[in-house]
Chains A and B, each alone.
Chain A
Amino acid sequence: MSDSGPVLVLRDAAFRHPGGAGIAGLRLSVAPGEAVAVIGPNGAGKSTLLRGILGLVPLVEGSMRVGGSEHASDGMIGFLPQSSDLDPDFPINLEQVVMQGRYRRLGLLRWPGRRDREVVRGALETVGLADRARRRFGELSGGQRQRGMLARALASEPVLLLLDEPFNGLDQANRDALIETVRTLKRRGVAIIVSTHDLELARQVCDTVLLVNGGQVGCGPVDDVLTLENVQECFEGVGVEIDEHTVVVPGHEGH
């Protein structure tokens, strides 16, 4: 992979679950340090797209290249799932959760070494939770857990980071911390794809917007694509209000 080449290229790609639901017609190229907001109504296929890039949903049409090759190598893609339903009683601390991000690189038999612990500490510092490393994961607040999961995604030292609705249910402080983290990562050259309903976030940290609704509705620089017209087309029938920053889509806010 050359340093300047795109991290991800989708050419007329379609991802489809064996059951049928999917997303098609995707044309996208993501450069290092670029942040892409994937915006669309519920059921538009945003999660399917992210899971397809991860290899969890089959690519059924077109082509995908990650880091210049057909298959992502171990740890190349980091993934922050939608707020997960995890057992708060599970006996595990934050540091151990973040270390799980190293497992893919470690493989089956190798156990974490000094370098792995350094990467984990760095990831915790990046998300601002270094002082909580030894706290039991279940004792952390929802926002801290979410940032902890982000640190886990970072611990694999990804060149591409996928964030699935990362701002759902976050309070302002955690939201600001997450935005700051995204900015830091961009400066380091990490490419980011974030699915969101939150147009403010798209404007604040993203360079590119991908509007989707079962397929690609529009794609380009934020200011060109994030117009009332486009958003209305994308959210057709859902009812959209748009102001300076925010799109209000009934049934979407407060998730």
Chain B
Amino acid sequence: MSLGDALFGAFALPFMGRALLVLLVLSIVAGIVGVLVNLRGLEFISDGLTHAVFPGLAIGLAVGGTAGLVPGAAIAALIGAVLLTLFLRAGVTSDAAVAVVLTATFSVGVIVVSRSDDYAGELEALLFGRVLTIAPEDVVPLVVVSLVAAVAVGATLKQQVFRAFDPHGSRAAGDRGLALDLVLNASIALVVVAGASTVGTLLVLALLIVPGASARLATVHLWRLFPIAASVGAVSAWLGLAVGFGASVGAGIDLPAGSTVVAVFVVVYALMLAYRVVRDRTTRSAPAPVPARTRARTAGER
């Protein structure tokens, strides 16, 4: 099998084409939302939401089979997003709030899944995804869920960035912090929903976090962060699927598709990091430090 077959020809296969379409849309949206996750320091909350989605997936599967996955996850994610937003505003420290939601919902999910006949198989699919077995009828719901998140974040993008930079100033200018937080956290939740059904609840976090973090390494220009993160997501998703396909078909190495995609995301991040280190070494005259995580999580800040 040639390189061209892995990179392009493979996607003529219907199941690969569906995987590429869903993952491309998802990765681009996750990249854009992920920039805000990075700027707001919401990584841990995103992690909490990935776990909150799990019982929704499990219940959806138990009630409606695979067709119940997206609706179940969407309901669970939105409930999780609202609860987390309110928790944080009530002054519960974010780590404690997230940990409570995370463990409680995850255990509910496992209990639900354990009632099914194929416990191990179902659990694996929910945790690690089923990107190569996306049914044709699931493509539209997954794309729609991603696009709703994109529209919600896109419509509030200026205000979200303002709030990320200066929450007090944003409030003084008349923005409603609670509404912005709900929109952002619900958008994260929707990305998690689409991701949970494709790369799994555990791996979707990489789609949210890695492109945003990579963009921060690549530029200090605010409005370039979003296209860079979206591009990193799209290219990584495409290469990840191609590598997985090439290894399986060409070399007989059976790589799990979702994990391969995530591995490529991380490799791209590592390349960005190397680029940044080299660039900073060569431009000593104008040192720009690797952005440190200097801010506390501020989602619930008044």
Contact = CB atoms under 8 A, between A and B. Distances in A.
A106 B158 contact: yes
A86 B162 CA distance: 11
Nearest to A112: B158
A97 interface: yes
A91 B173 contact: no
A108 B151 CA distance: 12
A56 B162 contact: no
Contact of B165 (A54, A81, A92): A92
Interface string A48-89: 000100111000000000000000001000010100101111
Nearest to B223: A96
Contacts of B292: 89
Specify which of A55, A74, A87 lies most central, judged by the most chain B CB atoms within 10 Å of its CB. A87
B168 A84 contact: yes
B156 interface: yes
Contacts of B95: none
Given A91-B291, A103-B158, A86 B220 contact: no
A100 B295 contact: no
B5 interface: no
A84 B158 CA distance: 20
Contacts of B222: 91-93, 96
A94 to B, nearest CB: 11
Specify which of A74, A90, A96, A111 lies most central, judged by the most chain B CB atoms within 10 Å of its CB. A90
A139 to B, nearest CB: 9
A74 B174 contact: yes
Contact of B155 (A86, A88, A101, A108): A108
Interface in B155-180: 155-156, 158-159, 161-162, 164-166, 168-175
Interface string A147-174: 0010010001000000000000000000
The size bracket of the interface on A is 20 to 34
A104 B172 CA distance: 10
A91 B159 contact: no
A101 B173 contact: yes
Contacts of B294: 87-89
Given A86-B165, A103-B159, A109-B155, A91 B219 contact: yes
Interface residues of B, number: 30
Contact of A91 (B156, B172, B220): B220
A28 to B, nearest CB: 20
A136 interface: yes
B39 interface: yes
A8 to B, nearest CB: 16
A109 B152 CA distance: 11
A77 to B, nearest CB: 9
B10 to A, nearest CB: 37
A104 B174 contact: yes
A106 to B, nearest CB: 7
A90 B164 CA distance: 9
Contacts of A111: 158
A56 B175 CA distance: 11
Given A89-B289, A93-B222, A108-B156, A100 B168 contact: no
B220 A136 contact: yes
A91 B289 CA distance: 12
Contacts of A84: 166, 168-169
Contacts of B171: 56
B295 A103 contact: no
A75 B172 CA distance: 10
B173 A104 contact: yes
Contacts of B169: 79, 81, 84, 100, 149, 152
Interface of B: 39, 155-156, 158-159, 161-162, 164-166, 168-175, 216, 219-223, 225, 289, 291-292, 294-295
18 contacts: A81-B169, A84-B168, A84-B169, A87-B165, A89-B289, A89-B292, A90-B165, A91-B39, A91-B219, A91-B291, A96-B223, A100-B162, A100-B169, A100-B173, A108-B156, A109-B155, A111-B158, A136-B220
Q: What 7 pairs between A and B have smallest CB-CB spacing?
A: A91-B220, A89-B291, A79-B172, A87-B295, A92-B222, A100-B162, A104-B173
